[in-house]
Amino acid sequence: MSLTHLVSTIRFQKSLESQDPKKVPPKVPYWTPFVCHMISLMRTPAPFADDLMKKYGYNIPLSIQAGLMKLCFVSSPEQIQTIFKDSKSLSSKPSTLYCLKNIIDTPPEVLPYYAADDSGMANKIRKGSVVTKQEERMHFWAAHTAQKYLSGQTLLSVSERYISTLDRNLEALNIGNDWVEVPDLLKFLQDEITSSTIEALMGSHVLRLNPTLVQDFWEFDYNMPNYVRGLPRWLVPSAFKVRDRMIASMKKWHLFAHEHSDVSKIAPDDPDWDPYFGTKLVKARLFYGMNNKHTNAASRASEDVGLILAGNANVIPSLFWYIYEALKDRTLQDRLMKEVSPCISEQGQLDIVQVTSQPLLQSVFAETLRLRVAITMTRTAEYSDYQLGSYKIKKDIPLVIFSRTAALNAEGWTNAGREPVVPLEKFWAERFLVKPGQKISKTDPELSYAKAQGSAEQTMAGSEKESNFSIEGLAGCWLPFGGGQRMCPGRHLAKHEIIGSFALLFSKYEIEMIDNGLGEPKPDMRWYPMGGLPPMEKFPFRIRKRT
């Protein structure tokens, strides 16, 4: 043991045992001065987080340092819920600014206005804010617009358009009665789902004007680790070039659409969609931006790159794993399709509201995201120190929450009344199903790991009709969309896309795995903790029209 590690270990133990009401979270021992935890945090964040939990448990906040950057890692479900509820004291603005600058390349002349906005996320401007006008509340309007136009009737409109667009695009592939082999399921979904999503959100002309947009987006997404790490242009020039192309594509589309449509047409009686701008969500975002003197054409283009990112980056890998689980387990696939069938009309139209309300379809959705989405949530006390239980969190120190850490916290799930009958490291389709008036817990005599590995009838002691989907009590454990006031406003659309895409594909086509000799696909942990975890290898399949 080096002297540095010995001293830092002694300090850690001393801090852990302190009874001082103003104590700060203990700093995890480290080997190298100044560098501290930087290498582990940057290179292998997943094993680093897992190791912290094994050594120190989930119940205490831990101080982490990477060079000059200090973080507080929080994994207790109770503390996570406390953080999410305290939107008045805590803000996600620093992480938002980081994404605006490093990921979507918001122009430097616009960033200071985002940084200066301290008005909060409530309907009323925060007392003491330097912002005095509602139209200058840049963070509030971004969240408020998404929440408004990705719920209710407008959500239904965009979801139905997405399904009809995907159906049309799949028909155009001319897949007939003979098997067609496809070398990579993820690539297939990236092509077909992304183009359908972009058209449903942004209209049909954006893809016509920019025929390489889908390809450019996935190259942009592939470079996400480079952007997140803040690598300079000279070191990764191709990453910057593809992002430049994305932004240029958005500018080109904006100019064309403004010549043919009007972004101010967002009243209730205005059309929900047009081929130039697409949805009212897109129009409202642009309308606000054009009436805000602090934004410009480049910043609005960058924000729409962000919209494409938000609509696809996590959905597509999640859909991959949803489909994979159905292909791997034919019994599960049959049970899922038993729920899908009543949701399709005699004319072949899918009822998106009905299908996304089915218990098993929802449970597989929730379980897929639990196991295959690894996001980071941060909150920062911008105005004063923050008291988290018995620990004082200093002002401007980010509180960091990893969704996958919470997803694998067996103690937390047990305390929530959801004892992990099947280990949390494994996929279990029924994890989010409960019997009417009863939670799945360790006191349930009908459930055991052995039974859970058996037949569906044994596992659930009946059909899905006798069970309900529920995430009740899991606010600190199931976090694929974040939590609190800043929970992802696109979560309902993502659910409609994933379940709806599965239902459409498997109702109209037969799909089978092709053995590639590599065994089960593994999630690529290089994307931890940046969102959906894609598979490491190509996954071949074959497809044909149902007869």
Beta bridge partners of 182: 541
DSSP for 155-202, please give it: HHHHHHHHHHHHHHHHHTTT--SS-EEES-HHHHHHHHHHHHHHHHHH
Which of 385, 376, 394 minimizes the C-alpha distance to 27?
394
Distance CA 225, CA 219 (A): 12
Distance CA 313, CA 134 (A): 31
Cα–chain center distance at 19: 38
Half-sphere exposure of 124 (CA within 13 A, CB side): 4
Residues in Cβ contact with 106 at an 8 Å cutoff, skipping those fewer than 6 apart: 100, 114, 299, 302, 303
Instruction: Please state the three-class secondary structure of 375-442 as a single string.
Output: CEEEEECCCCCEEECCEEECCCCCEEEEHHHHHCCHHHHHHCCCCCCCCCCCCCCCCCEECCCCCCCC
Backbone angles phi, psi at 116, to 5 degrees: -80, -20
CA angle 152, 154, 158 (to 5 degrees): 125
Binding residue ranges: 488
Orientation of helix 330-340 relative to helix 315-328, angle to 10°: 110
Distance CA 269, CA 293 (A): 28
Binding residue ranges for heme: 488
Distance CA 36, CA 30 (A): 5
Long-range contacts from 164-171, C-beta under 8 angstroms, 24+ separation: 165/196, 165/199, 165/200, 166/192, 166/193, 166/196, 166/500, 166/501, 166/504, 167/504, 167/508, 169/195, 169/196, 170/504, 170/505, 170/508, 170/509
Which of 456, 466, 476, 462 minimizes the C-alpha distance to 83?
476
Output the CA–CA distances (angstroms, integers) from residue 409 to 375, 379, 421, 439, in the order listed: 15, 21, 13, 18
Which of 381, 432, 425 minimizes the C-alpha distance to 407?
425
Residues in Cβ contact with 213 at an 8 Å cutoff, skipping those fewer than 6 apart: 198, 206, 207, 246, 249
Quote the radius of gyration of the chain (alpha carbons, Å). Answer: 24
Contact 331, 225 (CB under 8 A): no
Contact 58, 49 (CB under 8 A): no
Pairing of strands 376-379, 386-388: unpaired
